[in-house]
Amino acid sequence: MKIPNLEIHATHACNLSSKSCSHFSDHRVGKSVSLEEITSQMKFWNHRIKPKLFSNLVGEPALNKELCEIVWECRRQWPSRNCS
């Protein structure tokens, strides 16, 4: 199935306190999602969906120390898709 965008949460944490945060990530109570958990989710879906774009969002994704590995895993699972 083709979909326009696949969004994955690399973290539920944020180091900012934006009053307009729609994900409530600004309460400094979130944590990062492990590469292992994200990889497991991607492997489950990679043969079922074909996203045009892949996005890491919620909170501040750069707070996840495994963000680079997550982006590379996205590329391995969906080699012909755009990852941002």
pLDDT at residue 29 in the model = 62
Q: Please state the φ and ψ torsions of residue 31, each to the nearest 5 degrees.
A: -140, 165
Cβ partners under 8 Å of residue 59, min gap 6: 9, 10, 11, 12, 13, 14, 23, 25, 30
* pTM score: 0.74
Which tens digit of pLDDT belongs to each residue from 31-80? 788 999 999 999 999 889 988 888 877 667 777 889 889 889 988 988 87
Is pLDDT above 60 for 83?
A: no
Is pLDDT above 90 for 9?
A: no
Query: How is the chain split into domains, by residue range?
Result: 2-12+31-83
Which tens digit of pLDDT belongs to each residue from 12-31? 777 666 666 665 555 556 67
